[in-house]
Structures are given as C-alpha cells and as structure tokens.
Amino acid sequence: MGKKRRTPGGLSRFPSSRTGPPPSAGPVPAPAAFSSLTRRRKMLLRALLALVVPALLLAVAEFLLRVVGYGYPTTFFVKTHDGKALTTNRRFAWRFMSRANATQPVPAFFTTEKPRGTFRIFVLGESAAQGTPAPAFGFARILEVMLERQFPERRFEIINAAMRGINSHALVPIAKECARLSPDLFLVYLGNNETVGLYAPEPEAFNLAAHPQLIRVMQGAKRLRLAQLVESGARRWRGTASPRPAQDMAFFRSQRLAFDDPRRVPVYENFRRNLLEICGAARAANAKAIVSTLAVNVTAFPPLASLHRAGLSGADLAEWEAAFKKGTEAEAAGQFTVALTNYAEAARLDDHFAELHFRLAACHEATGNRESARRHFLLARDWDALQFRADGRQNDLVREVALSMRDLGLELLDADRIFAEAGQGDHPAPASLLFHEHVHFKFDGDYLLARSFLPLVVKSLGLAGGATKDLASRQECAAALAFTEWDSISVDSAMARMTARPPFLDQADHARRQAQKEHDLQQRLQLFQQQDGFRRASEGYRAALERRPKDWQLHFNLGCLRNDFGDKTNAVPAYLTAVNLMPEALPLRIGLAQALWDTGQKDSALAHLNEALRLDPEFSPAKEALGQVAGRRAR
C-alpha cells in the first residue's frame, strides 16, 4: 500500500476554496440530506424547549409558592408549631375529598425520635379502626390499657393513624409516612370503604378504579401548591366549596352496584395491591405487621340495598314478587317453614336479591338450622348492592396477602372468624351487643377485637412470657377509660341519629327497629337519672384520672359530661387541662371556649378562639364562632 500524505500542521485538510470532498473521501450527505437532518434537530430542540421551559416555569412557581407559605400540608403528620413533636394533620383529607366533606384524624402528639425503651405501634384503617363514633373508647385505646396492665415496666405508644371516610388508596401514603417514624408494629384493619367510597365505581360515571395509575397521578398532583392554587381559584369562581350532592335516598339508590358487576373487579385488585404495599412499607422499616380480616354485622343488619339479577324477565319478576310476598307474610305470622318454601321458590327464579337471602337466613335460624342460616347471612352481605361493609372476597384477599408474606413475618388476625364464633356456642354474644350497625363496634366489640389482637402483638414485639398480670377484663378496661353508662348512652344516641338517616331507610323492617332503638334509649336515660347517674359517672372519671392523669381524652370527656349536665363552671378546668395537654388539637378549644363564654368569661373565650385561628387561620369552627360574636355585638 502507498504511503499516506500527512496534512501540514495547523492547516485544514480540505482547503476552503474547495467546494467538494477530495476524490479519496468517503460519501457525505447531500445538501438535501443536510437540510433534512437540520430540520429534525430543530424540531427536536423545539420539542425539548416546549417541554423544558414550561416545566422549569412550573417548578419555579411551585418553589415560590412554597417559599411564601401558600397552600396546606398534605402529609398525615405535621410538626407542631414549636417544631419539637409531630401531630396529625387536620387538613390531610383535603387531598382526597372536598373541604366541606373532609374528615379528620384523631389528634395525636409524639416525638419524631422514638424514646428509648418504647414500643411504637401504628393503627391503620378506616372508621371502624379509628373507633367511630368515639375513638376514646376504640380498640386501640383498649389494647393500650391491656398492654400497660400486663407489662407495667414497658412503655407503649399506640398512635391511631386510622381515619373515617378513607380507604386503602389513602392509607398507602399514610403507611409510608409511619414507616419513616421508627415503627415497631403496624396493626392493619381496613377494607370497609373499598366498594362505596374514595375512587369507587359509580354506575353512571367513569370507573376510576379501573385506572390505578391515574389515581396515583391525581394523588401526587394534589400535593403540589400549584394544584392547590388552581383548586382554590376554581372554588372561588364557582362561589362554593363544592359539596357533594345531597346524600338522600335517591342519591344512594343511584349508587347501587351488584356483586357480580364487572366494574367491581378492579376494586378487589386495587385493594390487594394497596394492602401489599402497606405491608411492604412495614417490612421496609424492619417493623412487624398484623393484618386482620374484617368483622362485619351479618346477623342483625339487613342489606342496605338489593338488586334483581340481570336479564330477569317480566314474567319471572312477577312470579318472584308473588313468592316473595307470600314468604314475608308467612314469616311475619311466625310460619317459618312455609316462609322458607316460598323464599326457596323466589330464589329459584332469582337468587341475587340480597334481602331474600337475609330473610332465608332469619327463617333458617328460627327453625334451628344454623349452618344454612350462616350461609344465607353471608350471601346477604355479599349481594348487598350498597357495599358499606367488606364482603367475603375482600376477606379472602386479606388471608391471601397474609399467607404470601407469612415467611416475612406478617401475622394474620382472622377477626371475621373470631366474631362469627363469638355469636355461637352455649353463651353467644349477639351481634347487637358487638356492633352499632354494619361495621362500627360497640364497646364489647372493640374489647373483643383488642383482646384478639393482644397475643399477636405480644408475639410480634417479643414479649411472650413476660406478662406480670392477667388479661384486663372488659369491666377493668371500661373503668380505665371511664366508659360510663352516660358515655354508653351518648354513643348509642349518636349512632341512632345516624341510622335514622340515609342510606339506612330502605332496610327491611327499618322503621320498627329504629323506633325500638329510640325507645330503649329513652328508658336507659330515665333509669340513669333515677339512679343518680351523673354522680356515679363523675366518680368513674375521677378514679380513671387518678390512674391516668395525663390522658387528655379523659379530661376532655369529663368536661363534656359536666357540660351535658349543666355544670359548666367545673367543665372549664377539665377542658382547660385537655387543651394544655394537647394545645394544637383545635376542636378541644371550641369546647373550652363555649364553656368559658357560658360562664361569663367572654374575654378568655375569645382569646382561645383567636389562638385557634393563630394556629390555623382556616379553622372554620373558630371563624364561625367569632363571626357570631361579631354579629351579636353589631346588633
């Protein structure tokens, strides 16, 4: 081969006078190809600029909004104003629902750094886990009493991170937050709000449940201050806080969804995925987890709604209605065998109607056939077209998740089975003793759930064999939390008011059962007054406070007791102690301010209302109270 010619240093190999490549050069793009390549690069550059510049501007705007303090925090826990501890975020639900309808977590107060020698336990779930309607007497509080009694030398922090009105979609970010706070144990009791609730399918709406990634994008966007600014602007433009449609019976009837409706399929998959993610958060934090199936009222709670099977002909429907009518008449007359024959004929034509299964169960129970009764009670639960309680498929998914993670330390509590067994045997606990309505527990139900969790908690924390005392009884737990007869009456009254409204009005025999509830409450109230109940309840609170003097919920409830019976002067110090123990739990200040106002201490009342607004300028109860005061003064 010939020797290559070297190019003189510093000179271009191709002189500028040359218009084309030398003969020895390889092929080069033609001018048209150069032009096409340049156009593509320009288009790519424009596309990048179209994406990068707006993104940069949005990032700057987001940064500036955060710098000036615009918007609200979206985390479940927030720092207290002195920065020394954490408390629950009253605005957390704004990320998931309208402000007008947003629920709030239970007030909590704990340090970011876990104290030495402390077991930190987080409770995750919805309203049943929270302890609705009275979290002060919920299973988390009862469990705390049990642990403190059996292990007095140990320190336990049970932080109630459950919340009314949410579901597993909102609990995933809560669990991940808890995982960053040195947890030792998660207690997971969730699943009642999956089918009717946040992101649940609606018959005449876009099925968001079928698009879990879109749900995550929406949740992430709500964390941005820019999104909050847009939302605020839209709210002002509409001139409303965007309340939900009036939730009357017409609304709830429009939300009915059959058990076999394909739109419910993604609900189960989302629940399974979210439950795995919640348990995975515990594992990532080297914490243990106990996940529970859902105990629901099947024997004393008729379905909220029933639907006929799809494709039922008009002739078959008429025949079904005739058989069902004969069955209800026979049942009302106490002819249960005749009723069963008619109900069986109706079921032959359509066995999807939830109320039919409930009536079949009641008749089987009346004739002593417990096995058939149980089967139909469960079918009535599953075919309920307003699924405000977990169904059998969800409980099976909980069991499957627990089994899949058993080797990773996850424990299963089968509360569904435990509560079912409690209603059987020689000394059964009737569902009416355990449940208020469909899922919310009475004190006995919360006690049973706490007692069931206890051995698994002891095992998970490595405390087996270290108990110094026996299990606290139901009466001992009630005394420790000052669950007096007055509290029982108050809680039952609140639930009776709830069941007097939609969506309960379509239930079988609702009017009779509601009237019976209200009659029983009146009888109990009269007996309470005749037996000097106020004095006895006050003594119960004093005894409880001697054992737990720093329990803010005891002090607050004592203030409520005194206020309810007109002893407003002595209600003030009880409320004040609660506020001093939990200064950033703003609802406590409303009770205190009202008691102060009623006892003539108006300046102090206004001071506490203004302090509430200083802590949270958007706290509407304080704004409304101050507005009422201003209106009175103006008149």
Tens digits of residue pLDDT in 139-157: 999 999 999 999 999 999 9
Whether residues 270 and 127 share a domain: the answer is yes
120 alpha carbon, distance to own chain's centre: 20
Q: What's the confidence (pLDDT) of residue 11?
A: 34
pTM of structure: 0.90
- What is the distance between the terminal CA atoms of the chain, rounded to a whole angstrom? 111
Q: How far is 489 from 432, CA to CA, in rounded Å?
A: 15
Dihedrals phi, psi of 584, to nearest 5 degrees: -105, 10
Whether residues 462 and 483 share a domain: the answer is no
> What range defines the domain where residue 601 resides?
549-634
Copy the structure tokens of residue 290. 């106990």
**Residue 9 located in a structural domain:** no
Whether residues 143 and 282 share a domain: the answer is yes
Whether residues 124 and 188 share a domain: the answer is yes
Beta strand spans in 246-344 (E): 288-292
**Residue 521 located in a structural domain:** yes
Whether residues 323 and 356 share a domain: the answer is yes
Q: Please report, for the domain that includes residue 204, its CATH number.
A: 3.40.50.1110
What's the whole-number mean pLDDT along residues 568-587? Answer: 97
Whether residues 283 and 198 share a domain: the answer is yes
Whether residues 108 and 217 share a domain: the answer is yes
Cβ atoms of residues 297 and 243 within 8 Å: no
Cβ atoms of residues 186 and 288 within 8 Å: yes
Instruction: For residue 240, name the pLDDT band (cuts at 50, 70, 90).
Output: low
Residue whose C-alpha is closest to residue 156's, from 115, 97, 108, 99 = 115
Residue 375 clears pLDDT 50, i.e. is over it: yes
**Residue 43 located in a structural domain:** no
Q: What's the confidence (pLDDT) of residue 25?
A: 47
Beta strand spans in 323-449 (E): 410-413
- Length of the chain in residues, anyone? 635
- For residue 22, the tally of other CB atoms under 10 A from its CB is 9
**Residue 41 located in a structural domain:** no
DSSP per-residue letters across 406-434: GGGTEEEE-HHHHHHHHTSSSS---HHHH
Residue whose C-alpha is closest to residue 192's, from 397, 390, 438 = 390
Q: How far is 298 from 378, CA to CA, in rounded Å?
A: 7
**Residue 36 located in a structural domain:** no
| Angle, alpha carbons 42-48-50 (nearest 5°) | 100
Whether residues 101 and 197 share a domain: the answer is yes
Q: How far is 307 from 181, CA to CA, in rounded Å?
A: 46
Q: What's the confidence (pLDDT) of residue 24?
A: 45
Structurally, the chain folds into a number of domains equal to 4
Choosing from 472, 488, 512, the residue where a domain stops is: 472
What's the whole-number mean pLDDT along residues 592-603? Answer: 97
Lowest average pLDDT, out of 42-46, 316-320, 588-592, 611-615, goes to 42-46
Copy the structure tokens of residue 100. 């007008």
Whether residues 358 and 371 share a domain: the answer is yes
Give the DSSP H/E element, type plus range, for residue 496: helix 485-499
| Angle, alpha carbons 424-430-431 (nearest 5°) | 110
Whether residues 155 and 276 share a domain: the answer is yes
DSSP per-residue letters across 547-569: H-TT-HHHHHHHHHHHHHTT-HH
Cβ atoms of residues 397 and 275 within 8 Å: yes
Q: How far is 295 from 438, CA to CA, in rounded Å?
A: 9
**Residue 2 located in a structural domain:** no
Residue whose C-alpha is closest to residue 565's, from 586, 601, 541 = 541
Whether residues 402 and 327 share a domain: the answer is no
Tens digits of residue pLDDT in 258-314: 999 999 999 999 999 999 999 999 999 999 999 999 999 999 999 999 999 999 999
